[in-house]
A and B are shown apart, each in its own frame.
Chain A
């Protein structure tokens, strides 16, 4: 069935690349709105936790050019993706430094800024919490006193009267028995700080509420339909309905989860309602991008693992305390989804997982490439390496022995699907020459190797769906209308390849349009690395629908048997009559003419939809047993060869290898591109990136001078991406997603390589040269 693929599986050139290398690609800030455009400046909280006593806007209102000033009083509503705990503007209290308290809308930005500085807010400061373990204590202040009243999805379990926004419990087997059976039981604690996505394009959005009552929002978003839904839902009291809300999303300059859901875009939906007829633009500064969108959640986690002498894991207990920030409407699902899979890709008979989603007075935590798995795997993959060493086993052999196989029972009681984990392990071990000690040329340097397995499932509601229209043009070129977002991952090209394969039209004749919720079909969101699989299924089904229309029209007009007609090289052909060919371009718009001069067929419009029919989030709250929360897992392995300067701690990645099981790489070139890019993004989180807050919860490094992201000087000497293909049975041509995954193994492979090189086990991130150098100087072998 899969033989002779012409376009799928080929390194087809990206169909969006020409626009991008000519500057023709349009991003949201590139739209012009004319002289009627207004600009908004946000008045922000200087406190991490405080009551708002009063807001005085009188002076600001007098600044010429100010059109309107709005505060929480104008919008007493809350919203959120999975739990409605977030506010358009702070109401009676602020919960993190930088939270929006008011907005000044003015004719130009300069005026808006000047007036915003004149808005006087009187606060009564409250004690704030920044540590997730502290947040659990009885005596700590409560971040959300209304927690018990927030509506949320049925798979969240908030504990009213506490700071526990959600507790994900997973129970399998009997951990006490498992630990009793073990020859080695070992416990340790790992810490991961917060991180920022750092898309080069900041968040920006413009909204227009026109005089006919229609709201249009142009945004840089991974989630146009979800945004429309949330806007319509939250603004219902102001008379909006889905019918009157439109979201338009052009190309976006990077997403990585940071532009999923709704963050600052809510302002571009709400503010225009107060200045009807005027577009209102909000363009985040780089600093706001750091502290008022989403940040990756931090965590403190204690894991305890039991294993037999031969390396078989018998039990696993993982207590995870997530610093989820002031609002967790999205972040709580990071906790939930990663908690369900917190065993890592291992076969473990006895499991006990408690993943706490803790409110703190830091900025809202939310989705970031890897969706919690990077953070959990740092501990797990450091720990399994330590376990192996203590048992006198090779770490790769230990990981391989316990690697999950198809049919093994997952922690929540669903069998694991087909996967190429062992193949990934073997190929990475071979490529990094595992077991071979490297000798540095310089006696002041040491070289170590680190290894990690990884996995991740798409985190999504059980009924998250994709849909597609596909329409032909006169020359048999075609347009695919979907609402997935091209966030750089190459989805447009993948969709074009899928349609090309079915319709025999080359990908360069296919355009995939950026979304406009009024015209493009429904897509839940471009997140979770589920688009190739889900939207790909929808596009494939739309292409098949179009092909059937073409074949049926030809059969009807030419009196051919359905089974004898097929498409090849943009033509309709017939198996029983080799001389019969009709070019697609002759019929896909005007149909096919029959003897009497009338026509059959007509404009071809394919329709496709995909929604998983087997998923359910309705597991038991106490054990997570009984549901089917995940659609599938993508697995892989990574390794690194790291050079460490024994005097300074300075590190250099000599070689990085990563294998990922893509099921079927629709485009091997873009798959390799994801591995190269994602791995560097991950390496940066472990080697130098780090959000620093002061004692009052203020972010100290909201810029690229102080929060270093990798430059071209920081790349590994060599990156080896390896594609493994164990087909996903329900994926288009066997494909499953792999983009987020490429970042996940980065932290443990560095931690393990540092330990291999210089014998220092570092159990918190980032593992900077400074920390390695200090440990070397002090002669310590463990760093908390």
Chain B
């Protein structure tokens, strides 16, 4: 069954027809050409499809596109629209990522963390990103970047 949905994607209003069974991830990637959310497991385990739904991180593989009718979605493309954020700069400076496949989801989750909790402890940061799997880095360089940018903003 098709349904027309209207939602805000990275500050732009989008209107399109979707099947009721289509996931947000499929629609973003295959109908809207937004490729930063990746498919790693298609069952909510890995977090690489993370997007922000009304500023909250969600698994776009577990959400039907029809559910975002009238809502706001931000992907990494939207976050980077006006240049990279201080958090992204910290990831860049730390060379935090290796293969980079988890980066889009990880960055959105960390963005949500810092938005809600600008100065997390290391344990809080660990807990916040625990749903975003990374097989390369051992997480240490990712956590260091998050804590670093948080510290800079405290000082700044």
Contacts and interface: CB of A to CB of B under 8 A. Distances in A.
A21 B133 contact: no
A17 B97 contact: yes
Given A712-B126, A713-B126, A713-B127, A670 B135 contact: no
Contact of B42 (A197, A255, A285, A709): A285
How many chain A residues sit at the interface, stated as a range, is 35 or more
B88 A677 contact: no
B135 A712 contact: no
A327 interface: no
B136 A22 contact: no
A676 B101 contact: no
A198 B134 CA distance: 10
Given A488-B136, A673-B137, A704 B99 contact: no
Nearest to B142: A712
Contacts of B125: 712
A20 B133 contact: no
Residue from B92, B98, B104, B129 with most neighbouring chain A CB atoms (10 Å): B98
Interface string B8-41: 0000000000000000000001000101101111
A704 B45 contact: yes
B82 interface: no
A711 interface: yes
A200 B101 contact: yes
A286 B107 contact: no
B143 interface: yes
Interface stretch (B52-60, B63-71, B72-80, B148-156): B72-80
A27 B38 contact: yes
Interface of A is mostly: loop
B41 A286 contact: yes
Residue from A16, A197, A678 with most neighbouring chain B CB atoms (10 Å): A16
B135 A13 contact: no
Nearest to A13: B95
B101 A680 contact: no
B93 A13 contact: yes
Given A23-B77, A27-B38, A711 B130 contact: yes
Interface residues of B, number: 51
B135 to A, nearest CB: 5
Contacts of B147: none
B46 A200 contact: yes
Contacts of A255: 99
A23 B75 contact: yes
Interface of B is mostly: loop
Interface stretch (A246-254, A303-311, A313-321): A246-254
B98 to A, nearest CB: 3
A227 interface: no
A251 B99 contact: yes
Interface string B98-141: 11111110010000000000000000011101111111111111
Contacts of B42: 285-286
Contacts of B126: 712-713, 715
A201 B33 CA distance: 18
Residue from A16, A677, A712 with most neighbouring chain B CB atoms (10 Å): A712
B101 A715 contact: no
Contacts of B107: 21
Interface string A187-200: 00000000001111
B99 to A, nearest CB: 3
Contacts of B102: 200, 253
B87 to A, nearest CB: 9
Contacts of A704: 41, 45-46, 133
B91 interface: yes
Contacts of B2: none
B137 A676 contact: yes
Interface in A6-33: 13-14, 16-23, 25-27, 29-30, 32
Contacts of A251: 99-100
A488 to B, nearest CB: 3
A17 B133 contact: no
B122 to A, nearest CB: 10
B38 A201 contact: yes
Nearest to B123: A713
Contact of A719 (B45, B76, B133, B138): B138
A487 B99 contact: yes
A253 B97 CA distance: 11
Given A22-B88, A23-B76, A253-B101, A673 B33 contact: no
Nearest to B95: A14
A32 B33 contact: yes
A20 B145 CA distance: 15
A22 B82 CA distance: 11
A252 B99 CA distance: 7
B91 A21 contact: yes
Contacts of A252: 99
Interface in A236-286: 251-256, 283, 285-286
Given A200-B101, A680-B138, 11 more contacts: A18-B84, A19-B100, A22-B84, A23-B36, A32-B33, A198-B135, A253-B100, A254-B135, A286-B43, A713-B127, A715-B126
Interface of A: 13-14, 16-23, 25-27, 29-30, 32, 197-202, 251-256, 283, 285-286, 486-490, 669-670, 673, 676-681, 703-705, 709-713, 715, 719
10 contacts: A13-B95, A21-B84, A22-B88, A25-B100, A488-B97, A490-B95, A676-B137, A704-B46, A704-B133, A713-B126
Closest 3 CB pairs of A and B: A253-B101, A20-B100, A488-B98
